[in-house]
């Protein structure tokens, strides 16, 4: 079931400034919603919060670095 996104508080990285080439995310209940800033109406990916946490922790740990 898709969460209600009507009250979502979307955020994007402060490093992206006002550029359009970024993604935004919002915490919605127990889920995290992710969308493209270039096409906000083009669809939203929904992840369980625990999967999002594992993903962001992997980024911080360097698990996805292209060059070790």
Residue 9 domain flag: no
- 0.85 exceeded by pTM: no
Residue 1 domain flag: no
Residue 38 domain flag: yes
68: pLDDT confidence band, cut at 50, 70 and 90? low
Residue 37 lies in domain: 20-61
Residue 6 domain flag: no
| Predicted local confidence at residue 40, as pLDDT | 85
Phi and psi angles of residue 48, each rounded to the nearest 5 degrees, phi first = -60, 145
Residue 37 domain flag: yes
Residue 66 domain flag: no
Domain count, the chain: 1
Residue-wise pLDDT for 27-66, tens only, equals 999 999 999 988 888 899 999 999 999 999 999 999 988 8
Cα torsion angle, 53, 55, 56, 59, sign: positive
Report, as an integer, the average pLDDT of 11-35. 86
């Amino acid at each position: 079931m898709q969460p209600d996104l009507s009250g979502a508080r979307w955020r994007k990285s402060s490093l992206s400034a006002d550029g359009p080439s970024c993604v935004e995310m919002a915490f919605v209940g127990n889920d995290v919603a992710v969308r493209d800033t270039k096409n906000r109406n083009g669809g939203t990916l929904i992840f369980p919060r625990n999967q999002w946490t594992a993903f962001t922790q992997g980024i911080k740990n360097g698990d996805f670095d292209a060059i070790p």
